[in-house]
Chains A and B, each alone.
Chain A
Amino acid sequence: MEALEYFFRQLSISDLAVVLFFIGLYGAMTQRSIIKTIMSIGIMDVAAITFFMMSNFEQGARSPVTGTPPEQMADPVPQALMITAIVIGVSVVAMCLAMYMRVVFRYGTADWNILIRRLED
């Protein structure tokens, strides 16, 4: 009992991010509807980004601007890089959704298995 409580107490957001990543992967493996696959892949991407941002996390660190002593500065690299990654993720999901709309209008179905049967070759 003690060990279990200790285990749950020391979980952090990074562990949540890893669990979300694999939930997203599971969703991409099993969902039959195209839009749910796109959502699962979006979840995977966001989980990976969260995992990156939580590296070098210290409680009580201050923002890395002039005026704070260097020992208390938070790490600026993950958040700066992940802004790029978030923007890329948003653009790719938007593109996927646009392609999805064109596919659905053309073939009349939003299900992977039925769609394969209706392709033209």
Chain B
Amino acid sequence: MENLLVPLHMLVLLPVGIGALTFFLPRKAYQAVMLLGSLFVTAAAVQLFITVRWGSEIIQFVAGWPEVVAIKLVADGISAPLVLLAAVFFTSAYIFSTRAGHMDKTFVFLFLMLESALFGIFLSGDLFNIYVVMELSMITIAILIMYKQEKQSVYDAMLYILMNFIAMAFMVMGIAYMYRLTGVLDLMVIEQRLAELPDPRAAVLPYSMIFTAVAVKAAMLPLFSWLPRAHGAPSAPSIVSAVLSGIQVKAGVYLLVRLSIVFSPVIDAQMLFLVLGFLTSVAGFLLAIAQKDIKLILAYHTISQVGLIIMGLNLGSDVAFWGGMYHIINHALFKGLLFLTAGVIIDTYGVRSVKEIRGVFRSMPVIGIAALAGVLGITGAPFFNGSISKYFIQEGIQGNWAEAGLYLINFGTILSFVKYSTILFGSPPRHLQKPRKDPFITVISLAFGAAIFSGGIFGSQAVSLVFGPQYSAAGAMGIEKISIFAATLALGVLVYRYGVLRIEGVLSGVRNFKYNFNQITVLISLFFVLLLGYSYITMG
């Protein structure tokens, strides 16, 4: 604590404080002030990461209260890289949209408040703090989704907030049960006291309640109905979609990891989350293939990748765990880049359908190259960073069924992105006006593209730099992997040409199927009952 530039609680409060300054300055001045503030927050996050990575974990008890009763902020090996990722991502997204028209004072203030809430989720050390910042992020995101109040954005925001509010009510019940069982709210002390419980079956009910809430937040099957509406909504500015896909669902996955560690003395549900992660992944790419709107393809595909991350984190082997964590960073990079470039493409072309946009390479070459880098990264092309994290996850798998499942997910990813990258080729329509050259967009796109590429070439060095363990990734760049990738790519193109384009009727049926809100609540209750049953039965 002594050698930190900014103490932990100030790091959480700083973005909101800077955002509150916007209300006192005119527009020209506050852009520069915001930029300086964001850079300062990024510098503080870098310094925090360096201190934690090459030092020890940092624990701060707010206002100096003793251990069991204080509000605790913790930065350790899992949360410090995520804080750094969030800070860098928010600053880059802010620079990217310097010239965009929708960045008025309220928007910037809400955006920075979201950054504060995400820092709070990553740095919190006790249960009630997590609840408060989750609520804060939920309210902020609901306002940001419907910011432009176009066609059906208010309905999307209402669905999002109602689903998450039910999840938060579950969470309060779960926290209340934990308080009755153990008497404290501090995560580490709960872990110790759970190990000493006289009857461990009492922890089944709070476990199910808390994890239902976390599963809604992390968009697992069948609770991901809010995600495509929130991320791919027509009214959300693409910077909001990028931040949501990049960081906010990862906050849900982070909570999954953290709370699994807390409950590990009594309940171990790794197999269940592994299977759920796999099913989420498959459902994600199947739905992604059926979409026409480019942002919805990206949003459904986020579900698929989050399923893959959850699989990696729950396989039980160390290599796969760190592969999953590295995939969190990679996915933020390439999905964020894809969303930002998709926003620029939609603004220039005026339409959102994947069939009507063609020829991005010819009309906007820089955006096209950046989008291509994102596509190559996400499909796991060799020498790009997606392949490294997928290779690490694959190393942890035993058994033929699991390997086949992973190949299926990779194939589905390639198929959806073959559909997406049809917008890059061809020639642009004639009535297209020349887009203005915007240096900020160019710089950020190329920087992300370079990060994606270098994360691949220096993959194992990147993992050991950020997380610690040394794994060799030589197999990911060998001839065998390259040939497998090329074969899968060819198969994907063939299946797209002769398969997907033929079954358009089925796909439009899938696309137009919407869940009623009552059915969504039934699914939440069924998930809760499933968790209850599974944890009770496996307790023995």
* Chains A and B in contact, CB within 8 Å: yes
Q: Which residues of A contact B (CB under 8 A)?
A: 21, 24-25, 28-32, 37-38, 41, 44-45, 47-49, 51-52, 55-56, 77-78, 81, 84-85, 88, 91-92, 95-96, 99-100, 102-103, 106-107, 112-113, 115-116, 119-121
Told that A29-B525, A37-B518, A99-B161 touch, could you supply 6 new A-B pairs with CB distance under 8 A?
A25-B166, A29-B522, A44-B169, A45-B168, A92-B135, A120-B152
Q: Identify which of A38, A52, A115 contacts B175 (C-beta below 8 A).
A: A52
Nearest-neighbour CB distance to chain B for A30, whole angstroms, equals 6
9 contacting pairs across A/B (C-beta < 8 A): A25-B521, A41-B166, A44-B169, A49-B172, A51-B172, A52-B176, A96-B161, A106-B154, A116-B516
What is the CA–CA distance of A99 and B158 in the complex, to the nearest angstrom?
A: 6
Q: Identify which of A25, A107, A112 contacts B517 (C-beta below 8 A).
A: A112
Decide if B158 touches A103 in the complex (CB within 8 Å).
yes
Please give, as numbers and ranges, the residues of chain A lying within 8 Å of B162 by CB-CB distance: 37-38, 41, 96
Question: Which 5 residue pairs across A and B have the least CB separation, nearest first?
Answer: A52-B176, A48-B172, A44-B169, A99-B158, A28-B521
What is the CA–CA distance of A115 and B516 in the complex, to the nearest angstrom?
A: 10
Does more than half of chain A's interface fall in helix, strand or loop, or is it mixed? helix
What is the CA–CA distance of A44 and B170 in the complex, to the nearest angstrom?
A: 8
Nearest-neighbour CB distance to chain A for B277, whole angstroms, equals 26
Q: B514: CB under 8 A from chain A?
A: yes
The chain A residue with its CB closest to the CB of B511 is A121
Q: B84: CB under 8 A from chain A?
A: no
The chain A residue with its CB closest to the CB of B184 is A77
The chain A residue with its CB closest to the CB of B132 is A84
Q: B173: CB under 8 A from chain A?
A: yes
Interface size (B, Cβ < 8 Å)? 37
Please give, as numbers and ranges, the residues of chain A lying within 8 Å of B170 by CB-CB distance: 48
Q: Which residues of B contact A (CB under 8 A)?
A: 128, 131-132, 135, 138-139, 142-143, 146, 149, 151-152, 154-155, 157-158, 161-162, 165-166, 168-170, 172-173, 175-176, 179-180, 185, 514, 516-518, 521-522, 525
Nearest-neighbour CB distance to chain B for A92, whole angstroms, equals 5
Q: Identify which of B138, B142, B166 contacts A44 (C-beta below 8 A).
A: B166
What is the CA–CA distance of A28 and B522 in the complex, to the nearest angstrom?
A: 9
Please give, as numbers and ranges, the residues of chain B lying within 8 Å of A103 by CB-CB distance: 154-155, 158
Nearest-neighbour CB distance to chain B for A49, whole angstroms, equals 6
What is the CA–CA distance of A4 and B518 in the complex, to the nearest angstrom?
A: 36
Decide if B155 touches A41 in the complex (CB within 8 Å).
no
Nearest-neighbour CB distance to chain A for B349, whole angstroms, equals 18
Decide if A88 touches B525 in the complex (CB within 8 Å).
no
Q: Identify which of A30, A95, A102 contacts B139 (C-beta below 8 A).
A: A95
The chain B residue with its CB closest to the CB of A117 is B514
Known: A95-B142, A119-B152, A119-B155. A25 touches B525 (CB 8 A): yes
What is the CA–CA distance of A112 and B515 in the complex, to the nearest angstrom?
A: 10
Decide if A55 touches B172 in the complex (CB within 8 Å).
no
What is the CA–CA distance of A81 and B116 in the complex, to the nearest angstrom?
A: 20
What is the CA–CA distance of A77 and B514 in the complex, to the nearest angstrom?
A: 43
Decide if A81 touches B128 in the complex (CB within 8 Å).
yes
Decide if B157 touches A99 in the complex (CB within 8 Å).
yes
Nearest-neighbour CB distance to chain B for A22, whole angstroms, equals 9
What is the CA–CA distance of A100 and B132 in the complex, to the nearest angstrom?
A: 24
Decide if A55 touches B180 in the complex (CB within 8 Å).
yes
Known: A96-B161, A102-B154. A32 touches B172 (CB 8 A): no
Decide if A88 touches B132 in the complex (CB within 8 Å).
yes
Decide if B172 touches A45 in the complex (CB within 8 Å).
yes
Decide if A29 touches B518 in the complex (CB within 8 Å).
yes
The chain B residue with its CB closest to the CB of A52 is B176
Decide if A52 touches B152 in the complex (CB within 8 Å).
no
The chain A residue with its CB closest to the CB of B170 is A48
